[in-house]
Structure 1
Amino acid sequence: MSLRHLGLATGGLVVFLLVLAALGTPLQHGFDATLSQWLYARQPFMVTLALLLGWAGSFWGSLSTALLAGWLLRGAGRIAWPGLPLLLIASWLVNAAIKFGVNRPRPTLDHLMSVHGPSFPSGHAMAAMTLFGALGWLAAHRWPHCRVAIALAATALVLAGGLARLVLGVHYGSDVLAGYAVGTALLAAYFHLGARMPTRLHP
């Protein structure tokens, strides 16, 4: 693994371990309470948008997006097809393993969307990070002249996918941060594989 990919994976895992270690501390409670105060059910249009993102960012919604995008970019090689859908499946499997290992209860707020299972980390945040991080990377290589616009769009989608869970009151801010962190580590592994596989990313 290159130093850049190793650093990315290490950074994601370190952030995840720090958030995990902080669970139950005043720092974690303050962080979660502040984000909840800023975002929970702030505006009706935000709730509507968060509901749409919640449905789109579910297992089936994110996997459908990955299947479609991977197939459309299949000319890039195996890193796109079947690599992108497999990355999403791995993200949800890792998320489930951590969720039931930590077994953190959901927030006590009224949930504005039906949810199941423990809270930590956010599966939607992990899926957003892995899906849009990988898709942005593939698209930026395929269309390098649009790299800045692609990076901005991918970043906005990653943030929206995680923060929407706070608007709906179904996750803590620390759940979302942990989801982003683990997703970053998975992305580093994906980028490493992409660098080693024969690809045809450039037009």
Structure 2
Amino acid sequence: MHKKLYFQFAGSCFLLLFVFLGYLVKFYPTWLVSFDETLTRIIRSGYPFWTPFFLWVTKFANPTTIILLFLAVLAVLVINKYYAEALWLSIGTIGIAGLFNPLIKLVFLRERPTLEHLVTESSFSFPSGHSTGSMVFYGTLLFLVPVFFKQPFWQWGLRILLGLLIGCIGISRIYVGVHFPSDVLGGFCVGLSWLLLTYPYYLQKRFVWRFTRKQL
């Protein structure tokens, strides 16, 4: 019960942070200029040395990549009868990353940075779709690592790798010039709020389904 409250409190905090950021983007965008310019300057200070790396890592959150990985993981989960895990992953990836994020962009209508774009993007900027998608998809996998690996060494190793991948994807969107840091932060907040608010319900559903299956 206490863990559920902790997750819900943390998820609510990230949701409120997203609402606050969205309010600034919509009505007081100049308030974010210093924050965005400072972080962008720091992240792009390694240009062009880091260009090959960030062009590579940003592809891990491209829609095609996420779709293919999602289908592969979903197939493994369904075949092994991890239905609660499959449902949680599907709702997040399809509903939040695939539908909600593109639609919420139309509320803010934020134009992308005027920096040179190293990749082609045509949609609006806030919140970052790659950041939301990576947080939702790879973040869900981070929580589901114990389903696939029982040894603590592999569990923590994979969690660290997934966490680093999510962070690098967010940084890559700033480096390649298609997002402001506040876009990335907004996308991460959307993904984190979803994960933390729904994780306790996934655990509850998993317990019920596995208990029912054992009874049958």
TM-score for both structures, normalised by structure 2: 0.83
Q: Deviations over 1:40-75 (max 9, x none)?
A: 373345222222233331222112112212323443
SS of the aligned residue for 2:84 comes to coil
Q: Which has the higher helix share?
A: 2
Q: For this pair of structures, how many residues does the alignment match?
A: 200
Deviations 1:52-102 (A, max 9, x none): 233331222112112212323443611332542332111221111110111
Cα separation, 1, equivalents of 2:74 and 2:12: 27
Match of residue 198 from structure 1: 206
Q: Is it true that 1:185 corresponds to 2:193 in the alignment?
A: yes
Match of 1:5? 7
Which of 90, 96, 114 is the equivalent residue of 1:108?
Answer: 114
Query: Which has the higher Rg, Structure 1 or Structure 2?
Result: 2
2:98 is aligned with 1:80:
no
Match of 1:43 in 2: 47
Counterpart for residue 93 of structure 1: 99
Amino acid at match of 1:126: T
1:138 aligns with 2:140: no
Residue segments in structure 2 that go unaligned for 5+ positions in a row: 211-216
User: Following the alignment from structure 1 to structure 2, what is the Cα–Cα distance between the partners of residues 7 and 181?
Assistant: 13
Residue 117 of structure 2: SS of its match in structure 1? coil
Matched residues in 2 for 1:7 and 1:63: separation? 30
5+ residue gaps in structure 1? none
> Which whole-Å CA distance do the structure 2 matches of 1:194 and 1:45 have between them?
42
* 2: CA distance, partners of 1:163 / 1:79: 32
Deviation at 1:123, TM superposition (A): 0.4
- 1:168 pairs with 2:170: no
Identity %: 25
Please show how residues 24-43 of structure 1 align to structure 2 within 5 Å: 24-40=28-44, 42-43=46-47
Q: Which runs of 4+ in 1 moved over 3 A?
A: 24-27
Q: Does 160-169 or 63-72 show the bigger shift?
A: 63-72
